[in-house]
Amino acid sequence: MFKYKNLKKILFLFQPETAHNLAEIALRVLQKITILNNYMTKRNFVDNDKLTQEIFGVKFLNPVGLAAGFDKNSTMVKAMPALGFGFTEIGTMTPRPQDGNPKPRMFRYPSKNSVQNAMGFNNEGAHTVWKNLNKVYPNVLPIGVNIGKNKTTPKEYALSDYKTLIKKFKNTADYLAINISSPNTPNLRDLQNEDFITSLFQMAKEITDKPILLKIAPDMNAQAAIQLCKTAVNAGAAGIIATNTTIDYNLIPGCKDFGGLSGEVLTEKSYELFKEIAKELYGKTVLISVGGISNAQEAYRRIKAGASLVQAYTGMIFEGPSMVKNINEGLIELMKKDGYNNISEAIGADLKN
């Protein structure tokens, strides 16, 4: 097999968004070539009962999922086992198709193993994504659906956009994730308030009993974030995903002054906020940690802090298709050292001591 570092040199000759599009083409082809897809799955998917757990009434074969933003239109779902993922989250999609923000809108910082994106929910719209998803759901892996409002929808009508999307995807997802934390849609983060969250989840409960989670930004004050998450859970949220990308541009001097930063520069910021939220909500709801996770040690740190599941995306750009395999194999070794027989025993271990 080729070494990813050699392929990375080629991919990094292209603009980041072009490289992403090339990766999508490759994965869409891969999932149609059964022999090759099976080979890559056998190579990268860690099949070990120690990593298996049941959440939302669904079996997760390992705790590492693909974060939203990579598979925006649900075109690569069948290739996810070949990358080692235990679940995938598609989107973010909006009710109507939208092109997203002007290009260029994605930037690499290789020395920091980080990326800055200002994509702006570019997607083909709910109906097209639903048609794509309907072809592959239910899937061997759990599928989450990440939803957001259209850029042109005024804040006062945002609830209607989310209502439309929940109705559309309630039967083609294992869980839904509410995205009001992306920095790339004007005023979207203004919806991170208790009144909107309460109305949103009360509305959602009337439509479906499907698990619906809230994804929050890493730039909130910890106490405000905790209160918002509590409000969501009290109103019916089945879990919290922390965190989205950050607009703390001090993390990379000289970076763009728009879009969200992800990757290694987000690691500590994401972890610290997640840890504070978990202190309050561990054991009361499902917690998923995302942001700067690219190795087993960091994934295990989040799990011991209270995460039932973790997600990754940016790290794969720099580490390649074996990243998730390395994380899962590393988790097994770390669990073994701590005497755990199943990943569920490690979840929240730091909070139990």
User: Cis omega (within 30 of 0) on the bond before 218?
Assistant: no
User: 69 a known binding residue?
Assistant: yes
Annotated binding-site residue? 146: yes
- How far is it, in rounded angstroms, from Cα 246 to Cα 257? 11
Question: Is 73 annotated as a binding-site member?
Answer: no
Peptide bond preceding 243: is omega within 30 degrees of 0, i.e. cis? yes
Separation of alpha carbons 21 and 291, rounded Å:
22
Cα–Cα distance for residue pair 73/123, rounded to 1 Å = 6
Cα–Cα distance, 148 to 189 (Å, whole number) = 11
* Residue 120 annotated as part of some ligand binding site: yes
Which of 331, 286, 320, 262 has its CA nearest to residue 48?
331
Our answer to whether residue 182 is catalytic in this structure is yes
SS3 category, 274: helix
Catalytic residue among 182, 262, 294, 308: 182
Find out whether 263 is annotated in a ligand binding site: yes
Task: Flag whether 75 is marked binding.
Answer: no
Task: Indicate the Cα dihedral angle 171, 174, 175, 176, nearest 10°.
Answer: -40
User: Is 2 annotated as belonging to a binding site?
Assistant: no
Q: Name residue 259's amino acid.
A: G
88 is in an annotated binding site: no
Q: Determine whether the annotation assigns residue 3 to a binding site.
A: no
Tell me which residue of 101, 2, 83 sits closest to 37, measured CA to CA. Answer: 83
The verdict on whether residue 314 carries a ligand-binding annotation is yes
**HSE on the CB side for 86, CA within 13 Å?**
26
281: left (phi over 0), alpha (psi -120 to 50) or beta: alpha
Residue 6 is labelled as binding a ligand: no
Answer yes or no: is 41 a known binding residue: no
Q: Is 86 annotated as a binding residue?
A: no
On whether 118 is known to bind a ligand per the annotation, the reply is yes
Active site residues: 182
Sequence ranges of the binding site for substrate: 72, 117-121, 179, 184, 244-245
Sequence ranges of the binding site: 68-72, 92, 117-121, 146, 179, 184, 215, 243-245, 263, 292, 313-314
Sequence ranges of the binding site for FMN: 68-72, 92, 146, 179, 215, 243, 263, 292, 313-314
